[in-house]
Structure 1
């Protein structure tokens, strides 16, 4: 214990310097080791109901230098997860900590809710500290919470093999039979499985030892083969991988999904970090999943289900087999009013599958004639592989009851169009649009999108509705560069083919899709360097760090193939008028990464690139208007309007820890 007090003060100074806690209102309950001590911990008021306003309570367990923490739940009764498998009351577990504190960068290892029978009972820390974080949603409910036992274990007396044996016993117990993989394991492999539609039509797959943490240095392969003409649908209910932020391509723990037999096929999914309810469908009969981890910081892993789906549909020969992005920005204007046809009904609920129609149009009932009052139409789009749904409105004339229809501020009480996508286990609105103003060009984050048109009963019957063009695209609406099959959204630019050119964020000039990562790889020759300039830059984020803690989308740069370059800061925020000096590489290779999260979207960027060498001096960029009325300069990361979180609660907790440690030490 002699170095504990000094170490804690150093750690407290570090946390105060970054100034970001998980929640500024967190309360702390501290359990400190006294040489292998043990005891009980409970939720507030246990065994009575825990308070519904328990916003953030941290249970912090701190062992000596050579100790681990073991916790065992004896009773557990919290609000059950929703039908979408989302916990609104939850207890989060932080098992992989370097010290007795957490901030916004620390990812939880598990999130528990429900009852004891559905909950893993025993957990171990990877080091001397373990933290539980309790939250309640504030809504009515009567739940007793939890009671558990903690114990500080001596690392020297508890080998890694013994820990793995304990976990293995838990996984192989009858209560965990639900986590058996449905496929056939290849003899002599760690976790290579084969799934054939001749043996089973559906089933489950998991990371090793799920729901316990996966092992270090895991290398797993899952091979799927459907019968000819069928496809493979994968649904990840839960993904929890250790990730330190930034690009998934740099992550040491990841899941990669290939649209074929092996790694030579196109990548259609690349996942790290924490995600819920992700669905993918192959374009053919084969699908291959690879899961890998490094030698540290294991997490829970993933749980998924699969289904071999029949292909009773065939693409129409009159449609294009490969859809091109929507680049035509023309607007349908001057529509002549025509009396509404006297059709008794108009069935406007449509399910649009990319395998039948790769592109086409949707429109309001009877367009270009007026539509009826009190109508609701739903258009559901479903793609496969890496396809994304791109939607561009070319006509908009809806009954508006709130003022100027060309600049609608509020769609309440007016006819409207709502566009939604499934994202992170929720249905997320991309926007609600009304009046006469054309919505921006939209793109789905995955293979699905829903458009719902609704007219009020008070509609006057004089407006002509809407018309929109849809397209299932494989290139994210990026029209330059050569698409690279090694990633979901990767494009290559070679100086031998084009010495200069342009590139954009996905779906530009529309809103970029959420939860999307695109890589732009520039390959020069000899002593060439790459120069990049952003005449248009509008990426949602808060500078100067543009990190995950501020929920920032960002653009990053690197001179390296497999890691982010720390000397080149990320860019995010809004740009301003003027001229921006170009960003330069150190050598002939350069990587630009665009990454958006699942919270916001924005216009994105338009960029110039040029390979500069001794025989091709850089050409001045034309700073004329690329897009009239939207020309910008990017002067650096925006300061934004975000505020850092308060550190008061963390300081109080750590001062308490310091006092306890100092008392024990003396």
Structure 2
């Protein structure tokens, strides 16, 4: 009798395991097979790959979902180490392609869920690293009727504490992304701020403001550590996504810098006790955005050599 009980326990465990990792039917997306990743089992990263990788994948894969689900205080990072999906059209809308969903609060998608991008081609054609903005991220893989020699994809994933990307300012009520930062005896004189959803892509059609106010004998120092906006030409004149910096309290004050391209280590220093930053995004395909640090700096310290970065609390943030 004990051996029979053990057999039933093993059978029940296998059934639960199959239901957990492979879900077919209407549970997530009608007609799709779904592989769920919700843990790395003590390792820093987990792995995933396309069917039969590194051998060529089969034709007529109608819908295969790779679903990554973290806890409510986590976001997901997916890194492709290999990517080879046959490109039949420039926009990847037919044939073999991967549809990605990065803005999910959970792992559920259906035919009405808005997707972030379509991917196909080689590793140089895609963003190597994807980030979710919420606790879920889904990759939806399709292959067409033609047999291909393409090998598919492989990569790693990990779960990251989303509090690492929390803006250290006061969010203004009834706004999506407006913040104010004030220097006082009760607040730190340095911190971080980010574009919405960073490190995932920012939303379309947004306007965010970041207002900094220091005390009388202080100035504001900003360092944009990374800026990745909509790709385009080098000029900022006709760009849909811009970061504008104003030397004062609002956008009516003098503009002292405009950022629109990819870059790192852009430093801004106010001339007075106020600084206003405006982030405008109207592009069809948003970028990752920006991460930046701020410091309320005594005026006497403005003569310090800015190349000596290892002696201040400001640069210890990096």
For residues 52 and 208 of structure 2, the distance between their equivalents in structure 1, rounded to whole angstroms, comes to 37
Q: CA deviation at 1:396?
A: 2.3
For residues 369 and 474 of structure 1, the distance between their equivalents in structure 2, rounded to whole angstroms, comes to 33
Residue 436 (str. 1) matches residue 117 (str. 2): no
Aligned in 2, Cα 1:389/1:420: closer, same or farther, shift over 3 Å?
same
In structure 1, the partner of 2:272 is 586
Are the counterparts in 1 of residues 74 and 162 from structure 2 also a CA contact under 8 Å?
yes
Q: CA deviation at 1:432?
A: 1.5
Q: CA deviation at 1:377?
A: 1.1
CA deviations 1:133-174 (Å, max 9, x no partner) are: xxxxxxxxxxxxxxxxxxxxxxxxxxxxxxxxxxxxxxxxxx
Are the counterparts in 2 of residues 419 and 429 from structure 1 also a CA contact under 8 Å?
yes
Q: CA deviation at 1:373?
A: 0.9
Are the counterparts in 2 of residues 367 and 466 from structure 1 also a CA contact under 8 Å?
no
For residues 263 and 127 of structure 2, the distance between their equivalents in structure 1, rounded to whole angstroms, comes to 24
In structure 2, the partner of 1:416 is 97
Alignment of 1:133-152 (within 5 A): none
Which residue, out of 610, 613, 616, partners 2:295?
Answer: 610
- Give the SS at the match of 2:114: strand
For residues 78 and 71 of structure 2, the distance between their equivalents in structure 1, rounded to whole angstroms, comes to 20
Aligned in 2, Cα 1:373/1:600: closer, same or farther, shift over 3 Å?
same
Residue 571 (str. 1) matches residue 252 (str. 2): no
Q: CA deviation at 1:419?
A: 1.5
CA deviations 1:529-554 (Å, max 9, x no partner) are: 1133547545348855x8xxx74444
Are the counterparts in 1 of residues 37 and 66 from structure 2 also a CA contact under 8 Å?
yes
Alignment of 1:240-251 (within 5 A): none
Q: CA deviation at 1:592?
A: 3.0
In structure 2, the partner of 1:378 is 65
Residue 393 (str. 1) matches residue 83 (str. 2): no
Q: Which runs of 5+ in 2 are unaligned?
A: 1-21, 25-32, 105-111, 310-318
- Give the SS at the match of 1:616: helix
In structure 1, the partner of 2:147 is 458
- Give the SS at the match of 1:458: coil
For residues 95 and 54 of structure 2, the distance between their equivalents in structure 1, rounded to whole angstroms, comes to 19
Are the counterparts in 1 of residues 243 and 280 from structure 2 also a CA contact under 8 Å?
yes
Are the counterparts in 2 of residues 493 and 520 from structure 1 also a CA contact under 8 Å?
no
For residues 401 and 519 of structure 1, the distance between their equivalents in structure 2, rounded to whole angstroms, comes to 40
Residue 528 (str. 1) matches residue 215 (str. 2): no
Which residue, out of 285, 288, 301, partners 1:600?
Answer: 285
In structure 2, the partner of 1:41 is none
Aligned in 2, Cα 1:507/1:434: closer, same or farther, shift over 3 Å?
farther
For residues 204 and 131 of structure 2, the distance between their equivalents in structure 1, rounded to whole angstroms, comes to 9
Residue 467 (str. 1) matches residue 148 (str. 2): no
Q: Which runs of 5+ in 1 are unaligned?
A: 1-344, 403-407, 625-666
Are the counterparts in 2 of residues 415 and 434 from structure 1 also a CA contact under 8 Å?
no
In structure 2, the partner of 1:662 is none
Between structure 1 and structure 2, the one with the greater Rg is 1
Aligned residues: 258
Q: CA deviation at 1:511?
A: 4.4
Aligned in 2, Cα 1:369/1:491: closer, same or farther, shift over 3 Å?
farther
Q: CA deviation at 1:394?
A: 3.9
For residues 281 and 123 of structure 2, the distance between their equivalents in structure 1, rounded to whole angstroms, comes to 29
Q: CA deviation at 1:528?
A: 0.6
For residues 203 and 242 of structure 2, the distance between their equivalents in structure 1, rounded to whole angstroms, comes to 11
Q: CA deviation at 1:479?
A: 5.6
- The structure, 1 or 2, with the larger RCO (C-alpha pairs under 8 Å, 6+ apart) is 2
Higher strand share: 2
For residues 390 and 494 of structure 1, the distance between their equivalents in structure 2, rounded to whole angstroms, comes to 34
- Give the SS at the match of 1:574: coil
Aligned in 2, Cα 1:510/1:466: closer, same or farther, shift over 3 Å?
same
CA deviations 1:346-394 (Å, max 9, x no partner) are: 964157899xxxx985733557664741333124678999x89554324
Aligned in 2, Cα 1:513/1:442: closer, same or farther, shift over 3 Å?
farther
Are the counterparts in 1 of residues 76 and 136 from structure 2 also a CA contact under 8 Å?
no
Aligned in 2, Cα 1:452/1:558: closer, same or farther, shift over 3 Å?
farther
